[in-house]
Amino acid sequence: SVHSDVGWTPEHIAGHGMPALRGSFVGLDRSPDVFAWDPI
């Protein structure tokens, strides 16, 4: 979970938030594999 009842600081985001969300990120190099049309 990325809930924080004390708020977020840049250090807290770097230490806890980003690692928790890392599995949901997709590399930008995959965009052409996912979207077959030209970008706008």
* pLDDT (0 to 100) of residue 26: 77
Domain that holds residue 6: 1-25
Residue 4 is assigned to a structural domain of this protein: yes
In a domain, 16, yes or no: yes
Specify burial of residue 17 (Cβ count, 10 A radius: 0-12, 13-18, 19+).
middle
Tell me whether residue 17 is in a domain.
Answer: yes
Q: Residue 8 domain-assigned?
A: yes
* CA 23 to chain centroid: 8
Looking at the structure of the chain, the number of domains it has is 1
pLDDT tens, N- to C-terminus, the chain (40 residues):
788 899 999 999 999 999 999 988 877 777 778 788 887 7
φ/ψ of residue 14, rounded to 5: -65, -35
Q: Is 7 left (phi over 0), alpha (psi -120 to 50) or beta?
A: left
Query: What's the predicted TM-score (pTM) here?
Result: 0.54
Instruction: Determine, yes or no, domain membership for 30.
Output: no
- What are the start-end ranges of the E strands in 1-40? none
Asked, for residue 19, whether it belongs to a domain, the answer is yes
pLDDT of residue 19: 93
